[in-house]
A and B are shown apart, each in its own frame.
Chain A
Amino acid sequence: MLCLIVDDSSVVRKVVRRILEEMDIDCAEAADGQQAFESCQNTMPDVIMLDWNMPVMNGMEFMCKLRAHPTPTQPKVIFCTTENDTDHIQAALAAGADEYIMKPFDSDIIRSKFEQIGLL
């Protein structure tokens, strides 16, 4: 299983990568939505851990672009963001997110969310 970690913080990407690799999940990284979209065009991941607020292209813009993009299989998308109010969560779900993590998180939460969407 391949997970694309999209976050403008290299520290967050590193932490998420460490947690996922302990779960035997391969990881790729992108620092914004634009980079993430290019990465998906090269290799479509199985799941995307997606920050909301990023420069160049934010997480919501990226996900809408991805969901509108014709592709044989759509990856699961888990938002992972400091935006923790119901308006943001509902907007993300309505736009096609599969799960939602409110930062801060820990390995239990990430594992739990991967289980929720049937990846573990």
Chain B
Amino acid sequence: MLTADFDIYKDLLKTESGIIITPDKAYLLDSRLTPVARRWGHEDLDAMAAALRGAPDKRLVKEIVEAMTTNETSFFRDTRPFNLFKHAVLPYITQQRQNTRRLKIWCAACSSGQEPYSLSMILKEEAEKHGVFQTDILGTDISEDILEQARTAIYSQFEVQRGLPIQLLMKYFEQTDKKWQLKNDIRKMVRYRYFNLLDSMTMLGTFDIIFCRNVLIYFDEATKRDILGRMSKCLAPDGVLYLGGAETVLGVTDAFKPITGVRGLYAHADSEIALTVSEQADAKSAFMP
């Protein structure tokens, strides 16, 4: 691919989604965008790049961004964040919300829904322990296609076997031919909407817990700082932010600070959150129902 054409895609992705593509990742353009080029009647990526100069079709731009997003996810991915949620964060936040008895969670970049549904299952399992809470889980993503998958909540045999204990599969899913669909009571705990993390977050409201895991790694430092700065305004003063294992706020923003002793969890820089982290909560082994 010509350098000028590579730059067309690089600039488009940076502007539209914040995703950074470096020359060593040019192969991703080939593998992910060639099918898009064919669908739009272009011979190759160079030809499609020509169509992107000037005033490109917005549908094509959206399709390119969607094709370049990474949708890797699984139920209870990495396990430890969910053990922490069940045994440390949820007890803490429900204690804080004894008066309102409302709990709002945002899964930014929720992909096909496994993360918000994992949280739904934990909330369902833990409901008796914490009493009646009105819970609202919002899942957002930049891909309309992946959001549609999340809404239907139908997963392949492979997907339900990665990270999901068999007991939870039996309890919360229905078998439909060779696929598995989440039951309605879990599905309706999550609402989904299209959202670009580069856009204003003020319309989203305020959340008690934000999951933004394995997203920031695709952005440059300035974009990370911008997103985290705006995200801090969406998080309740005593709220908790989850980032991915390879992500941190340190050296990126002063809006958040790590929660002492709990890797991957962050709070407002001026908050005094102290989580009680038992051995069970800190377990790296799989999430147990």
Contacts and interface: CB of A to CB of B under 8 A. Distances in A.
Nearest to B161: A109
Contacts of B169: 89
18 contacts: A84-B157, A85-B175, A86-B175, A89-B169, A89-B170, A90-B170, A93-B167, A101-B161, A105-B161, A106-B158, A108-B162, A109-B162, A112-B163, A115-B286, A116-B166, A118-B286, A118-B288, A120-B285
B157 A102 contact: yes
A14 to B, nearest CB: 21
Q: Which of B162, B175, B285, B286 has the most CB of A within 10 A?
A: B286
Interface of A: 84-86, 89-90, 93, 99-102, 105-106, 108-109, 112-113, 115-118, 120
Contacts of A84: 157, 178
Nearest to B163: A112
B112 interface: no
Given A93-B170, A99-B165, A112-B163, 6 more contacts: A84-B157, A90-B170, A93-B167, A112-B286, A116-B288, A118-B285
Nearest to A84: B157
A113 B287 CA distance: 11
Interface in B140-159: 157-158
A34 B158 CA distance: 30
B79 interface: yes
A120 B80 CA distance: 13
Nearest to A101: B161
Contacts of B175: 85-86
B166 A100 contact: yes
Q: Which of B161, B162, B170, B288 has the most CB of A within 10 A?
A: B161
B173 to A, nearest CB: 9
A115 B166 contact: no
A109 B170 contact: no
B286 A116 contact: yes
A93 B285 contact: no
Contacts of A101: 161
A23 to B, nearest CB: 14
Nearest to A115: B286
A18 B157 CA distance: 22
Nearest to A103: B157
A93 B157 CA distance: 18
Contacts of B286: 112, 115-118
A86 B170 contact: yes
A85 to B, nearest CB: 6
B37 to A, nearest CB: 31
Given A84-B157, A85-B175, A116 B165 contact: yes
Given A86-B175, A109-B158, A99 B170 contact: no
